[in-house]
Amino acid sequence: MFFRVMVFLCCQLAGGLLGWWQMGPWGAAVGAAVAIWVWFTWDMLRGTRVVRWLRQGELAQAPRLHGLWGEVSDRARRLLRQMQGQVQESEQRLQEVLSALQASPNGVIFLNAAGCIEWSNQIAAAHFGIDLERDLLQSIGNLVRHPDFSAYYAARDFSSAVVMAGRYSTPACPVRLSVQLHPYGQGRCLLLSRDVTALEQAEVMRRDFVANVSHEIRTPLTVLSGFVETLQTLSLAPEEEKRYLALMAQQAARMQSVVQGLLTLSRLEGSPLPGLTEWTPVGQLLRACEDEARALSALLAPASQRVHVLQFPSLQALQGMGEIAGAQTELQSALSNLVGNAVRYTPASGSITVTWTRDAQGGAVFAVADTGPGIDPVHIARLTERFYRVDRSRSRETGGTGLGLAIVKHVLQRHGAVLQIDSVPGKGSVFSVCFPASRLRPTGWKADGVVPTLTAL
């Protein structure tokens, strides 16, 4: 301000002196007046430059001035720089929030007061089949036409979620969505969608599991209760009493088998994965499977018919099959279960062939082929479910609990193996187990600090 006053006074003094020198006292007054107008015009021009720059708002075009207008320009430039920094910081935070919402496993949609889409993440677009470029600012009611959602949206009661089928849901691959609207601001809504397919399937499996367990245990309990009541109320001959006690023992063994299977599954799911420190000869496992299979075949075959034709690798072949890493009891249980199922479901005099072969990648395939009735393809995908049976009456006749293949699946998963099932109705089935090369080694292999690459035996 002092500089501005000094410039103004200097202009007046210069104008007055110049007028005095030319015209005397009156000239001094005229010169001072002219100097004032010249200064005012010059000052207005400087102010006009600052105002024009403020209207444009470009920091790079800020005028470089001195005095009062220079200070105004500098302060305005600093304020604009601060505002731009705040705007950039706000935009960066907004982008971080949107990126976090984009990474969310749930669908997120912002709706304005008219119910139109302002923003959506990729998950929500996939849930509802929305094109983020085409459907922006389109009404959500026009894009999501599911009757359940339409009724939910029209009722305007968003206190709870609505469960509906997803856009790409099919009977073979159902998709279930939980959708809820959360009002905020002035009439705006936040739409959240969540894929609850797995949760609903788990709930269905839980209900089925409880129902199956109850059914499996209730039937033998009913039989036992009936026999106990009979023994308590009736006077039976020793032969009949002995037969009833034998049937009671059979039903008790059946319940014990179910409970033992459930305990085995629980132990497999809760125990740590087997490592690569315990090695078992493959020949030993297959020899045990053969002994159990022949004993089971002799037990199940009627007296008037021959036992099954069982074909296992020769003794010489068993000695050269190498070793496998894992829990021996679990592996023995899984392999014996597959062979035992083949014996149970193959008619007497049928053929069962067990093989162990190495593949080109260094892994191995354990296969059990039978000439039984075969399995319809619609059942194959569910064979490893707990208590799932293709033929319930046939399973009970052979003593099956419906847990065997479920146990096999869990054991193989714990050992990195894969179960493959190939079957043709009326021609038999082949159950194959593919073991990875990392769990196999030749017989007598010794570690010397470096694990050698295994080759086909």
> Using one digit for the tens of pLDDT, what is the confidence trace for 414-431?
899 999 999 888 888 999
Amino acid 302: pLDDT: 64
Asked if pLDDT for residue 182 goes beyond 90, the answer is yes
**pLDDT higher than threshold 80 for residue 362:** yes
Mean pLDDT of the chain: 80
Q: Which of 292, 442, 312 is nearest to 364 (CA)?
A: 442
Mean pLDDT of all residues in 51-58 = 67
* Residue range(s) in the chain whose domain bears CATH number 3.30.450.20: 107-195
Q: Highest-confidence range of 11-20, 110-119, 196-205, 261-270, by mean pLDDT?
A: 110-119
Q: What is 210-271's CATH topology?
A: Helix Hairpins (1.10.287)
Domain spanning 107-195: which superfamily? PAS domain (3.30.450.20)
Q: CATH 1.10.287.130 region(s) of the chain?
A: 210-271
Residue 93 scores a pLDDT above 60: yes
Q: Lowest-pLDDT range, 20-29, 145-154, 421-430?
A: 20-29
CATH 3.30.565.10 domain locations along the chain: 273-445+452-457
| CB distance 341 to 370 below 8 Å | no
Cα gap 154→135, rounded to integer Å: 21
Q: What confidence score (pLDDT) does residue 277 get?
A: 83
Res 65 pLDDT > 80: no
Q: What are the beta bridge partners of residue 430?
A: 369, 422
In this structure, which CATH number among 3.30.565.10, 3.40.190.10, 1.10.3720.10, 3.60.15.10 belongs to the domain 273-445+452-457?
A: 3.30.565.10
* pLDDT confidence of residue 451: 41
Residue 455: predicted pLDDT? 33
Distance, CA of 228 to CA of 94 (rounded, Å): 74
| pLDDT of amino acid 180 | 93
pLDDT, residue 457, reads 29
Q: What is the structure's pLDDT at 344? A: 86
Q: How many angstroms separate the CA atoms of 11 and 37, rounded?
A: 10
Which of 24-38, 80-94, 242-256, 375-389 shows the lowest per-residue confidence on average (mean pLDDT)? 24-38
**pLDDT for the residue numbered 377:** 85
Share above pLDDT 70 across residues of the chain, in percent, rounded to a whole number? 78
Q: Judge whether 374 and 324 are in contact, CB under 8 Å.
A: no
